[in-house]
Amino acid sequence: MAARTILSTQCLYTAARRAYSSNTDKNVAFLGLGNMGGFMAANLVKKGFTVRGYDPSKDALNAAAKNGVTPANSIAAAVDGVDVVVSILTSNKVVLDVYLGKDGVVAHAKKGSLLIDSSTIDPNVPKQIFPIALEKGLGFTDAPVSGGVMGAQNATLAFMAGGRKEDFERSLPLLKVMGAKQFHCGQIGSGQVAKLTNNMLMGITGMATAECMNMGIKMGLEPKVLLDVLNNSSARSWSTEVYCPVPGLVPTAPSSRNYDGGFKNELMVKDLELASGMALGIRSPIPLGAVATQLYRIVQSRGYGQKDFSFVFQLLKEENKN
């Protein structure tokens, strides 16, 4: 069972300003150059940072190189001599291996470096890394993001950071280049708590939007009329305004691109499972979160894990035919 730890914190919002000090750390290692990390690293290059990147995927490395990122052939080579290490990785195990492994970040980063992990993981993982990094003379902050691939591409991400205030303040010049909003949420791990809370709510509202739009359309309402009503009524939400699950209604939503290029359903399942584990550790009831987790698991079990999580609309639509 997860540790029964309650973080009593207040997230402090810092407005984005695109300029940064001439004294900013300029040499950056970026670990994880996939759908999110590739764009985030490219945005750092655009603003004058020297970025060395590593990813086990050669395709990801080659794509990043086209955007000015210098490829490295290992984690150790990527972090050698840099001022700041930024990572966005896939799982608890990967993060622990990358940071604490024999050939990992903590073993090879220079003393005084700042480590920023933007992965979405269990809050206990940064708590394991932080004291070891501190002992080695390294700063560390957990700073997961919200905003998806579009936010990474357009540098409009929201960062939720946990850790020492001085590490957060040192990270701001980089976070402001990659995103529009930055929140210091408190002690180490609190960024993950904020992110998992956000993503559970996102999964629940996404599921509810898909369910109710499917019902209204099945009853004969024109999809566009229904969406206009929702967006001008009390049910308005990010899921209706920005991320509508019905294809063709919001051109920039993944649903209008065959549910590709968004937040993969398999990642939604992972985050909901992490949030469920966190809730279990403090005995916080999550009846809606549990239902959402099971529904997105069904989508994944039917072979649609690589599609955006809003594909749940298609699952519900298909159920009408049975």
Instruction: Catalogue the active-site residues.
Output: 195
* Burial letters 132-158, b for 16+ CB under 10 A, else e: ebeebebbbbbbbbbbbbbbbbebebb
The first and second tokens of residue 72, run together, are 């490295």
Distance CA 3, CA 217 (A): 45
The first and second tokens of residue 308, run together, are 């955006």
The full DSSP string for 257-281 is GTT-SS-BHHHHHHHHHHHHHHHHH
Query: What is the separation of C-alpha 5 from the centre of its chain, rounded to a whole number of angstroms?
Result: 22
CB hemisphere CA count around 249 (13 angstroms): 22
Angle at alpha carbon of residue 286, lines to 281 and 288, rounded to 5°: 155
Query: What is the separation of C-alpha 133 from the centre of its chain, rounded to a whole number of angstroms?
Result: 22
How do the residues of the chain divide into helix, strand and coil, expressed in percent and rounded to 5? 50, 15, 35
Characterize the bridge pairing of strands 27-31 and 84-87.
parallel
Among candidate residues 180, 190, 272, the one with its CA nearest the CA of residue 10: 190
